[in-house]
Amino acid sequence: MNQRSWVAICFAMALLVAAPLGAQSVADSILEARTTAVAAELRCPVCQGLSIQDSPSELSQEMRGMVRDQLRAGKTPAEVKAFFVSKYGEWILLTPTAQGFNLLLYILPFVLLLAGAVVIIVVVRRWTHTAEPVSLPPTDSP
């Protein structure tokens, strides 16, 4: 590395340290992070299964702008989402709200996982307790 690139790195580091001093940019980056978090949970109405955060479509860009504006105006993320639900219906949320019938979606996978685990425990117990003589294949492939 030559001297010039060191100077450039020092300069960049200085910028990194100095940047947060501007309170405006801190607020901006926080707002941007919150916007991203909400936008990732909202479905792009004209795409297939992409969030408005990921989608390159113009509508998604507009919707991201709306999310940013509403958050800046002091709405909570839940309120912003509720606004979009009232406009588009529950369909706009990429994760269904965990209540009522939707709970099935969250519980069923874990019920199955637990049931499988129980089956394994029962079966392994039974197998380890049967002490019949066994003839094992002599090979020692995998």
Q: Which of 54, 78, 99, 103 binds other proteins (CB under 8 A)?
A: 54
Helix axes 77-88, 23-39, angle to 10 degrees: 40
Among positions 59-78, residues that touch other proteins (CB under 8 A) are 61
Rounded to whole angstroms, how far apart are CA atoms 45 and 82?
16
CA 11 to chain centre: 35
The reply on whether position 104 binds other proteins by CB under 8 A is yes
Nearest to 84 by CA among 48, 75, 74: 75
Grouping H, G, I as helix, E, B as strand and the rest as coil, residue 51 is strand
Q: Which stretch binds other proteins (CB under 8 A): 17-25, 67-75, 76-84, 109-117?
A: 109-117
With CB under 8 A as the contact rule, the residue among 24, 56, 86, 99 that binds other proteins is 56
User: Is the separation of the CB atoms in 60 and 66 below 8 Å?
Assistant: no
Q: Please identify, using beta-carbon distances, which residue of 74 and 89 lies nearer to other proteins.
A: 89
Q: Which residues bind other proteins (CB under 8 A)?
A: 4-5, 8, 12, 40-41, 43, 47-51, 54-58, 61, 89-96, 100-102, 104-106, 108-109, 112-113, 116-117, 120, 124, 127-128, 130-132, 134, 136-137, 141-142
